[in-house]
């Protein structure tokens, strides 16, 4: 054990001797979460809207009120033709447009069907999908109210009162009733920031010893492989736990995220995730000959797949079988289920056991692989 604690002290002194590096290690994850958190947590409200209301009737004005009454759309331009709407969209002045024909009011008054044209800027697929969904949802609600009014008017003419729709549906959204993007994305960004730091810190550890020539001193010592690897990981694990607590506090007090489950359970499971990420980093460092190789392997094999395949930004359900099972080998895939379950849903330990078990197994396997790939030779 004395050999093991000697390596721990060596890594501790390496971290503490350069206060600028220490400050970066401590502050950078929190800074990244703040910077990226504000970047991705913005809501798509007040979508800029241009309207060409050629009907100019009470019916058309009431119809438009459904779109402008909330904060979903900002009524920025009142134009006179379809061409003007298209011109505003071409010049990126608006993101959507509504064209109401001249006969809109007269058709509704006569009980006839009418049409309204929506325009959406599709150059940004994400924004276009959001705008299109909101337009169609509000349009369905408006159409339902108009239909109800027409039925009530017809029923009144026939002497029928108390007319109601045959089926009324109500939707109750759980966990995130306001649909705030930050409640879903901040936990994912927290996991990603912890992954990046843990992986890069240790991915350069062994290969740095080789390049600096200090590996020679370790080769001639009787230290075992597991003692060296664990001794290098422990100080960074302590740093990782500290960063976990700091990033969670940022999520709570700066972004207003309410952790629905146990705070300390999340810290504990984050430590297991950090241990697995550190093991991956040491394994990459062991098989690399230069720091540049280690950096490319860390980014290309782990970090980029972690962003795309883990479920951070895109659902894993529609993935091909090969990429789906590759993502199962990434600790962050299982940790995302855990951190979102605890922070958003308040999920208890027993209901997350499948993901927790996978995370523990992967952490052990990557630590074992980091030991197996280390050789006491230059």
pLDDT of amino acid 113: 83
- Ranges of beta strands (E only) in 124-198 are none
The domain limits of the chain are 2-41+180-372, 47-157
> What sign for the dihedral angle of Cα 107, 67, 99, 131?
negative
Query: In which region does residue 358 sit, left (phi positive, over 0), alpha (psi from -120 to 50) or beta (all else)?
Result: alpha
pLDDT for 338: 95
The answer to whether the CB of 134 falls within 8 A of the CB of 47 is yes
Whether residue 241 contacts residue 18, with contact meaning beta carbons closer than 8 Å, is answered with no
pLDDT for position 162: 56
Q: Could you give the CA distance from residue 31 to residue 38 in angstroms, rounded to a whole number?
A: 11
The pLDDT value given to residue 359: 94
Residues 100 and 55: beta-carbon distance below 8 Å? yes
pLDDT at 374: 74
Chunked mean pLDDT (size 10), the chain, 378 residues: 73 74 81 85 75 89 85 85 91 90 86 87 81 87 79 61 64 78 89 89 76 67 76 86 93 90 94 92 85 87 90 84 91 94 91 94 91 70
As a whole number of angstroms, the distance between CA 341 and CA 338 comes to: 5
Predicted pLDDT at 262:
92
Provide the pLDDT for residue 210. Answer: 72
Domain 47-157 CATH superfamily: abc type-2 transporter like domain (3.40.1710.10)
Pairing of strands 73-79, 47-53: parallel
Cβ atoms within 10 Å of 302's Cβ, excluding its own: 23
In degrees, rounded to 5, the angle at the alpha carbon of residue 236 between the alpha carbons of residues 235 and 242 is 100
Cα separation, 272 vs 59, in Å, equals 61
263 CB-contact burial (10 Å; exposed 0-12 / middle 13-18 / buried 19+): middle
pTM value > 0.85 = no
Per-residue pLDDT at 268? 95
Given a contact cutoff of 8 angstroms between Cβ atoms, the answer to whether 339 and 187 are in contact is yes
Give the angle 123-129-132 at the CA atoms, nearest 5°: 105
How do 96-100 and 117-120 pair as beta strands?
antiparallel
Q: Is the CB of residue 81 less than 8 Å from the CB of residue 34? A: no
Distance in angstroms (rounded) separating the CA atoms of residues 138 and 150: 18
User: What SS3 state is found at 355?
Assistant: helix
> Which distant-in-sequence residues (6+ apart) come within 8 Å of 206 by Cβ?
215, 232, 282, 285, 286, 374
């Amino acid at each position: 054990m004395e050999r093991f604690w000697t390596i721990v002290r060596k890594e501790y002194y390496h971290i503490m001797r350069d206060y600028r590096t220490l400050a970066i290690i401590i502050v950078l994850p929190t800074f990244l979460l703040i910077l990226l958190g504000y970047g991705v947590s913005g809501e798509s409200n007040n979508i800029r809207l241009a309207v060409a209301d050629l009907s100019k009737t009470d019916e058309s004005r009431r119809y438009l009120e459904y779109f402008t009454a909330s904060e979903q759309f900002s009524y920025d331009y009142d134009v006179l033709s379809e061409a003007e709407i298209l011109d505003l969209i071409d010049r990126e002045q608006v993101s959507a447009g509504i064209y109401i024909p001249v006969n809109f009011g007269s058709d509704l008054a006569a009980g006839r069907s009418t049409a309204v044209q929506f325009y959406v800027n599709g150059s940004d697929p994400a924004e276009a999908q959001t705008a299109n969904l909101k337009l169609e949802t509000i349009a369905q609600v408006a159409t339902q109210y108009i239909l109800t009014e027409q039925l009530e008017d017809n029923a009144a003419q026939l002497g029928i009162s108390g007319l109601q729709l045959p089926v009324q549906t109500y939707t109750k959204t759980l966990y995130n009733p306001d649909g705030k993007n930050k409640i879903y994305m901040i936990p994912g960004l927290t996991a990603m920031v912890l992954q990046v730091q843990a992986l890069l810190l240790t991915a350069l550890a062994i290969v740095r010893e080789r390049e600096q020539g200090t590996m020679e001193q370790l080769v001639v010592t009787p230290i075992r492989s597991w003692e060296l690897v664990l001794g290098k990981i422990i100080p960074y694990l302590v740093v990782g736990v500290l960063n976990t607590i700091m990033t969670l506090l940022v999520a709570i007090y700066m972004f207003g995220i309410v952790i629905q489950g146990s705070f300390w359970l999340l810290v504990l499971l984050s430590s297991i995730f950090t241990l697995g990420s550190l093991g991956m980093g040491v394994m990459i460092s062991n098989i690399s000959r230069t720091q540049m190789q280690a950096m490319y392997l860390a980014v290309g094999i782990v970090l980029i797949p972690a962003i795309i395949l883990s479920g951070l930004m895109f659902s894993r359900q529609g993935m091909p079988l090969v990429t789906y099972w590759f993502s199962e080998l990434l600790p962050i895939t299982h940790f995302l289920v855990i951190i979102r379950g605890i922070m958003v849903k308040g999920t208890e330990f027993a209901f997350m056991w499948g993901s927790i078990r996978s995370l523990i197994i992967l952490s052990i396997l990557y630590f074992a692989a980091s030991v197996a790939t280390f050789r006491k030779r230059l």
